[in-house]
Structure 1
Amino acid sequence: MKLKISHYTHYTYVEPVRYSVNEIRLTPQTDSRQFCYEHSIVVNPDVSLFSYEDFFTNKVHSFSVSEPHQELLIKAESIVHTDEKEHYQGRPLPLSTEKKILRSNTFQNYFAEYLIGTAYARITPELITYVNSIVDLDSSGGIFLLLKDISARIFWDFIYDPQATDVHTTVEETLQLKRGVCQDFAHLMIAMCRAKGIPARYVSGYHFIGDLQGGHADYEQASHAWVEAYIPNKGWVGYDPTNNGMVNWRYVKIGHGRDYRDIVPVKGVYTGLAAQTLMVEVDVKILED
């Protein structure tokens, strides 16, 4: 499927700021599931962009604005072809083999950064109690099915509420509130996977839902977050606990990291005392081939 993504980020400052340094991760990846064949980024005020790959192989653009400015506008547009095939299909390894692999030192050392707790996804006693009370690897019958169980339980046990949390909410707070948004549910699932010894990483991107909203219905779109977990003999498999589903052609991946901090779409600092207002607009639509 061919999808067009438009992502506009607009900062407005009460008074002109003198200098800003910024870093953006808004470039869709090209991998076995998707192909980004058109991408552009425009910044106003007009500046030069410097690009590189970070530690997690995400495409990063950085820039600085040295002249006084009261507005900063970043326009990122992409056309991505997503694969409709389900890459996670196939015969799984026997459960005994999966458990042996998870417990091996070689496996744990290789995936160490995706097995430890982070600031957003700490593996606390409360988290361990919760995950152990709802899922079990032996009864699930395998890692793939266990992950589906975890995703489903988050979907049913937690309420989607954009007003309940903010960008700094941690897993501990989500467990207490029993509500949140895609970022919170992704962090929760990541912590639950890691508590079970399964490598998991945070994914940032977009989710096309246009045809689920009555065609041209009036609805607000936004960036989306989900989880990729590593399954022996299958590789990284995408799960979306917010929608209780597997990642398919509707999803466009920007990048991944240990948690949200590694893949913030737009971040920066500026010199000045002025307060700022942020407005973000996202549009994802299908293009005819």
Structure 2
Amino acid sequence: MTTLFVRHLTTYRYRRPVAFGEHRMMFRPRDSFDQRLIDASLRIAPAPRSLRWVHDAFGNAVAFAGFEAEADTLEFENRIAVEHFPDPVEFRIEDYALTYPFAYAADEQPDLAPFMTRQCRDPAGELERWARRFLRQGQATPTGRLLMTLTTAIGESFVYKRRSEAGTQDPLATLHLGRGTCRDFALFMMEAVRSLGFAARFVSGYLYVPTRDGPRHLGGGSTHAWCQVYVPGAGWVEFDPTNGIIGNRDLIRVAVARTPAQAVPLSGTFHGSRADDLGMTVDVRVTSGAGPGDD
């Protein structure tokens, strides 16, 4: 068990004081057997007029802030501490799903169906052809090996390139360009395994970068994204194609969703002209053993 501390600071700056519309936040991690939230605080400046919490359709904790004051800076500082239990994936898969292809159990199919449905265009079947390259021709393919190979292949075949623009790249663009961000790779893997009949969902959260333990992970210093695939007997298993991580090692899960757009960490509006917007900065620090500093 490791205690991980996160300080996530987002700052919006404007040329003049502006009014703010409602802002939606997904900062609070999900409690589970492999991570336990032990402390959380949220500071917003200027202070919001109202702050309310809900659980969305996926059970994620979502906060909505409403504002009255105008300001030339809007700042969100989220601090959390979680007890993290790295869960080595042993792929204890049900006998019927040990090899691919297989069909999910009849009683699970209605619940998994939304996560099996492909969300992105692939008119010529390019993504499916890419994914099928990793199947054993003419014979069954071990399910665990297939998913691990796909994860590794994405990290090795594509170049990680940080991108500040909002949104997620279409998987076909990732395939053609040969590059993308962590969220692009997560969506690419989701659509690839969905083309093979797996249920997959998007995960937003944080990445612990243990520099003392070896090469740096990609995607540190900001929020991170990966995916989960439903494996009978093992359940929802984490796959981070950006770093080749399988299982929850170094990953702090905040939100899960059917599409990346449903798991955006922070979104909102302001009332003013486009020229008033001076941009946004994000600083994420994840440490173990002691909380991040205030500098």
Q: TM-score, normalised by structure 2?
A: 0.87
Give me the whole-angstrom Cα distance separating, in 2, the residues matched to 1:165 and 1:58: 24
For residues 73 and 37 of structure 1, the distance between their equivalents in structure 2, rounded to whole angstroms, comes to 24
Contact 1:117 1:123 in 2 (8 A): no
Tell me, yes or no, if the aligned pair for 1:101 and 1:232 is still in contact at 8 Å: no
Instruction: Tell me how far apart the structure 1 counterparts of residues 254 and 164 of structure 2 sit (CA, whole Å).
Output: 26
Aligned partner of 2:10: which letter? T
Q: Deviations over 1:22-45 (max 9, x none)?
A: 000011111111001100101000
**Preserved contact between residue 151 and residue 189 of structure 1 (Cα < 8 Å):** yes
Q: In structure 1, what is the equivalent of residue 16 of structure 2?
A: 15
Quick one: distance in 2 between partners of 1:33 and 1:283?
21
SS at match of 1:134: coil
Query: What is the correspondence of 1:256-267 to structure 2 with a 5 Å cutoff?
Result: 256-267=256-267
Shift in Å, 1:164:
9.9
- In the other structure, the counterpart of 2:46 is 45
Alignment of 1:1-289 (within 5 A): 1-47=2-48, 48-86=50-88, 88-90=90-92, 92-95=94-97, 99-102=101-104, 106-118=107-119, 121-124=120-123, 125-136=125-136, 141-162=141-162, 167-212=167-212, 221-273=221-273, 274-287=276-289
Partners of 2:265 and 2:288 lie apart in 1 by 22
**SS state of the match for residue 32, structure 2?**
coil
- Whole-Å separation in 2 of the counterparts to 1:52 and 1:137: 48
- Aligned pair in 2 of structure 1 residues 206, 131: CA closer, same or farther (>3 Å)? same
- Range 185-194 or range 240-249, more displaced: 240-249
Q: CA-to-partner distance for each residue in 1:135-182, whole Å, 9 max, x for gaps?
A: 359757332221111101111111112259863411111011011111
Quick check: 1:164–1:180 contact (8 Å CA) kept in 2? no
1:135–1:149: 8 Å Cα contact kept in structure 2? no
Aligned mates of 1:164, 1:60 — CA distance in 2: 23
SS at match of 1:110: helix
Identity %: 25
Cα separation, 2, equivalents of 1:168 and 1:250: 23
**Structure 2: how far apart are the matches of 1:190 and 1:100?**
18
Query: In structure 2, the residue corresponding to 1:18 is in which secondary structure?
Result: strand
Shift of 1:114: 0.6
Measured in 2, the distance between the counterparts of 1:101 and 1:92 equals: 11
Aligned CA distance change for structure 1 residues 138 and 85 (closer, same or farther; 3 Å): farther
Q: Report if the CA contact (8 A) 2:97-2:232 is conserved.
A: no
User: 1: distance between equivalents of 2:220 and 2:196?
Assistant: 35
Distance 1:141 1:100, change over 3 A: closer
Is the alpha carbon distance of 1:155 and 1:165 closer, same or farther for their aligned partners in structure 2, counting shifts above 3 Å?
A: farther
**Separation (CA, whole Å) in 2 of partners of 1:138 and 1:60:** 47
